[in-house]
Structure 1
Amino acid sequence: MELIIIGVLVLLVIFGVAQYNRLIRLNITVDEAFAQIEVQLKRRADLIPNLVETVKGYAKHEQGTFDAVVAARAKSTSASTVADVAAADGALTNALRGLLAVAEAYPDLKASSNFLSLQEELSTTENKVSFARQFYNDNVRSLNTAVKTVPTNFFAGFAKVTARDFYEVENAADRNVPNVKF
């Protein structure tokens, strides 16, 4: 009888350790996924100065648009929480739409190989940002499900793991990828 009790206790400890480790792994995966969003947003932010300078060469009188893009880029590089990053990401997307709308009015710019290269790079980066957002939200869903369901919810406090926020764009207009077709 004593051996059975010891065996059950050992199984309970093993089960508890497995649940604890699962929560820690899920939490680390969410952190990693958020870091990937930041990497892709940084990549996009690094493209913007070149894009702005290229467009500036053709559209010198559009200073307000350029200033909006630069300000949005500055906000996007300084945001740190999920909500702040998502808000800055949305603002930058809107500013880029304005910049690309300006570019639409300049046929010489649309034919520029430098601009076309930057446009392609931006389009590729937008796809990577979209994938990184989805990957993050998938991992947040898995973590939140584990934190809120039995039996792992009993171990969440002990593991100091809590539900995380999803990456959500601010408004419906931000949900669209910028139109970079020229």
Structure 2
Amino acid sequence: MDFLIGNIGLILFILLAVVLVFWAISTYNQLIRAREFVRNSMGQIAAQVESRWDALQNMIEGTKQYAEYEAETLESITSQRASLGQNASVSEVNKDDQLFNQAMGRLMAVGESYPDLKASSVYQETLKNVDRYEQQVRQSRMIFNDTVTKYNRIIQSVPSNIIASLFNFTKESYFENTETKTEMPSWS
């Protein structure tokens, strides 16, 4: 008993150290989970963007029988794009969007020049698919921004910011509205 009373400071110090270690581990794991949610959200965007490009590629194939030159131009635009993944940055996704909108604009102009193409069921169905994927991309961006908000809040809040800075967790960027993104595109 005398040993406990004499060493109460040491016992309290050990208990405090154990609590701090468990807190640090818990906080680190929370940061890892939040970062993985951000990466998963970007992966969802990448999957939707790929589907959107696949639908566009179907339209390009359908265009070949009407306007070979335009199909080649559109294929050159699609060849410029880089594949996106869960580690893609917001700026890479925005660049991909610009290429997609450029290709879609060209394709719409071809549709206007060739009424038979525009009236074809494949063209109309593919337009619906492109629009559906565009809506899913928009929804995925909103989820991504929500996920980034939660992650950024954790790494900036006291005391978790201590662990975040020790292990180099950095803020993530948001998708921001631009003039071209304020309205849903109208492909039809």
TM-score (norm: length of structure 1): 0.82
Bigger Rg over Cα: 2
AA at the equivalent of 1:40: Q
Q: How many residues align?
A: 177
In the TM superposition, residue 126 of structure 1 has moved relative to its aligned partner by 0.8
Match of 1:76, SS state, is coil
**Alignment correspondent of 1:71:** 76
Unaligned runs of 5+ in 1: none
Match of 2:130 in 1: 122
Match of 2:179 in 1: 172
For the aligned residues, what is the CA RMSD? 2.5
Percent identical residues: 28
1:18-41, CA deviations, whole angstroms, 9 ceiling, x for partnerless residues? 111111111111111111111111
Task: Decide which of 138, 146, 157 is 1:149's aligned counterpart.
Answer: 157
Question: By how many angstroms is 1:165 displaced?
Answer: 1.8
- CA deviations over 1:84-120 (Å, ceiling 9, x no partner): 2221222312331331243145433333111122112
Q: Provide the C-alpha distance between the structure 1 equivalents of 2:76 and 2:136, rounded to a whole number of angstroms.
A: 23
1:44 equivalent in structure 2: 52
Unaligned runs of 5+ in 2: 1-7
Using the alignment, how far apart are the partners of 1:165 and 1:75 within structure 2? Answer: 24
Equivalent position of 1:91 in the other structure: 99
Decide whether the 8 Å contact of 1:23 with 1:159 is kept in 2: no
State the distance in 1 between where 2:96 and 2:121 align.
29
| Residue pairs, 1:133-144, within 5 angstroms | 133-144=141-152
Q: Aligned partners of 1:164, 1:77: CA distance in 2, in Å?
A: 21
Query: Who is 2:3 aligned against?
Result: none
